Structure 1
Amino acid sequence: MKRRGHAWRAFNLTLGYLFLYAPIACLMVFSFNASSLMTSWSGFSLKWYHQLAGDQALLNAAWLSLRIALLTATAATIIGTWAGYVLVRMGRFRGFALYIGMLSAPLVLPEVVLGISLLLLFVETSKTLGWPDGNGMFTIWAGHTTLCVAYVAVVIQSRVRDLDRSLEEAALDLGATPLKVFFLITLPLIAPALAAGWLLSFTLSLDDVVIAAFLSGPGYTTLPLEIFSRVRLGLRPEINALATLFILLVGIFVVLANILQRRQRS
């Protein structure tokens, strides 16, 4: 019976992994396909990587998305860390319910509503203050950061709530200031959560279509928007090559995050 149970669990686990990762593996394999048909294998070739190097529009869109994702992940992690820390450690204060509601709003609002509201905000500020001067990288970054801060705050909040406060209290008793305790004790303890929040924000920003569609301007087309615009004419295999490069990049980040978590546990 035990062997059957182990075999059944192994079968379910294998089936789950195949369901999740088989499409990604197929995409990576077909990025080396010599044929221009994305569903027909005709031999190994690197020509689509060479064509990708010459596709300036696609590379510009990828570079813009990568820059926005890096900036968004960093800003959302900084702001979301303070927001999550306040939720756990500052107790209830005047306006606490409003604070939670405003922080959680991006989690429950449809992205269409969030995109329209941010677009109207930037239009009005542009009319009143003359800034920003049209939609572009800043407006996309601001929209993505608004969305991602809520996710980071949830991750940090759960981690801070589980911390053993004895180390922080001991440091305070020895004369350390609250700010010093936060940076030297609390922050290292929640480092795995910081890495998780950063990776989540990076992925959300890199993958976003709706908010970027509302907040992008001429000359600022992100990678998802560029890909969706090309779907009408049919996808080319160089998209597979670019996706493979991004998968490898994100995989490196995930491995580094796992190494950080293991070091933290040991």
Structure 2
Amino acid sequence: MSKRKFSVRHVPGAAPIAIVTFVALYAPVLILIANAFNAGPVIGRWEGFSGRWFVAAIGNDAFRNAALNSLIVAALAALISTSLATMAALAITRGRRLRGEGGIFVVLNQPLLVPEIVLAIALMIVLAQIKQATGYHGLGYLIVAHSTFCIPFAFMPIRARLEGMDLTLETAAMDLYAGRFYTFRRVTLPLLAPGILAGFMLAFVVSLDNVVVSSFVKSPGQETLPTYLMGELRRNLSSEIYAISALLLFASVTVVAASWLITRRKP
């Protein structure tokens, strides 16, 4: 009796369940985008296509300040987390076998294992003590906090890239008397660059979209784009909020798509 490969298409009811799932996931997003381009101020009543709410959002000083803060925090947090993730991935995949390597992997991925609200409270307690001791209340705390939970998102594509790389070129370079640093700079790093860039992009998006940690760690008067949107939603739901949300969505989708295309390249 021949064995047939399992296919989800043969599961009874799989197609209707898939359709319902996709509708539940993407219908709210489509409604948001439609309202962002609605000419009228009344949500839910279509009055024509217009980009007026995008113009209004861009002219909003509070939105621009929040967006600038988000971009600064996301860029620096992604840079820090990607640098740390790269060193960790190199140590695990290219270094000597470490005792307790499984524990190191768990520590690196701790932000994925711990509930975000718990991580946010822990960071708030620690950073509040530093704020009190130093008197500094700038964006540095948000950058540090975002760097901690972005590390595993940067680590995953970098480690995957390293494990998919052929060691032959690195070995050949060292056989030709190239030093470790020269081999890393001229052979390993160029091959690893797509993974590093993909990790940076993923970390950037995760930081850019974060609400929970930002809400707990930010100083009074500071706003990132997600926390600004949360505050505006509590006061008034307007089409301008839809426009800002659509801009954030477009930016996130663009970065994630670029990251996916980069990781598809073969080492």
Q: TM-score, normalised by structure 2?
A: 0.82
Provide the residue aligned with 2:65 in structure 1.
Answer: 60
Describe the shift of the 1:198–1:94 C-alpha distance in structure 2 as closer, same or farther (beyond 3 A). Answer: same
Provide the residue aligned with 1:49 in structure 2.
Answer: 54
Q: CA deviation at 1:98?
A: 5.0
1:117 and 2:122 aligned: yes
Q: CA deviation at 1:82?
A: 1.0
Provide the residue aligned with 1:92 in structure 2.
Answer: 97
Describe the shift of the 1:215–1:221 C-alpha distance in structure 2 as closer, same or farther (beyond 3 A). Answer: same
Q: CA deviation at 1:173?
A: 1.1
| Equivalent-residue separation in structure 1 for 2:107 and 2:18 (angstroms) | 39
Describe the shift of the 1:184–1:52 C-alpha distance in structure 2 as closer, same or farther (beyond 3 A). Answer: same
Describe the shift of the 1:185–1:22 C-alpha distance in structure 2 as closer, same or farther (beyond 3 A). Answer: farther
Describe the shift of the 1:178–1:228 C-alpha distance in structure 2 as closer, same or farther (beyond 3 A). Answer: same
Contact 1:168 1:186 in 2 (8 A): yes
Provide the residue aligned with 1:181 in structure 2.
Answer: 183
Q: CA deviation at 1:9?
A: 10
Describe the shift of the 1:32–1:141 C-alpha distance in structure 2 as closer, same or farther (beyond 3 A). Answer: same
Among 136, 139, 146, the residue aligned to 1:137 = 139
Describe the shift of the 1:217–1:126 C-alpha distance in structure 2 as closer, same or farther (beyond 3 A). Answer: closer
| Equivalent-residue separation in structure 2 for 1:83 and 1:14 (angstroms) | 41
Describe the shift of the 1:231–1:104 C-alpha distance in structure 2 as closer, same or farther (beyond 3 A). Answer: same
| Equivalent-residue separation in structure 2 for 1:153 and 1:115 (angstroms) | 21
The count of residues paired between Structure 1 and Structure 2 equals: 257
Provide the residue aligned with 2:38 in structure 1.
Answer: 33
Q: Deviations over 1:165-186 (max 9, x none)?
A: 1111001111222222223222
Provide the residue aligned with 2:109 in structure 1.
Answer: 104
Please give the residue correspondences for 1:176-255 in structure 2 after superposition, counting only pairs within 5 Å: 176-254=178-256
1:73 and 2:78 aligned: yes
Counterpart AA for 1:70: A
| Equivalent-residue separation in structure 1 for 2:178 and 2:14 (angstroms) | 50
SS at structure 2 position matched to 1:121: helix
Counterpart AA for 1:198: F
Among 141, 166, 175, the residue aligned to 1:164 = 166
Q: CA deviation at 1:104?
A: 2.4
Describe the shift of the 1:158–1:265 C-alpha distance in structure 2 as closer, same or farther (beyond 3 A). Answer: closer
Describe the shift of the 1:195–1:14 C-alpha distance in structure 2 as closer, same or farther (beyond 3 A). Answer: farther
Q: CA deviation at 1:152?
A: 1.6
Contact 2:139 2:218 in 1 (8 A): yes
Q: Deviations over 1:5-49 (max 9, x none)?
A: 8xx999998877665544434322321211112222111222212
Describe the shift of the 1:247–1:78 C-alpha distance in structure 2 as closer, same or farther (beyond 3 A). Answer: same
Counterpart AA for 2:166: D
SS at structure 2 position matched to 1:190: helix
| Equivalent-residue separation in structure 2 for 1:24 and 1:76 (angstroms) | 30
| Equivalent-residue separation in structure 2 for 1:100 and 1:109 (angstroms) | 14
| Equivalent-residue separation in structure 2 for 1:227 and 1:45 (angstroms) | 21
Unaligned runs of 5+ in 1: none
Q: CA deviation at 1:237?
A: 0.7
| Equivalent-residue separation in structure 2 for 1:18 and 1:184 (angstroms) | 48
Q: CA RMSD in A?
A: 2.9
| Equivalent-residue separation in structure 2 for 1:61 and 1:9 (angstroms) | 43
| Equivalent-residue separation in structure 2 for 1:104 and 1:254 (angstroms) | 20
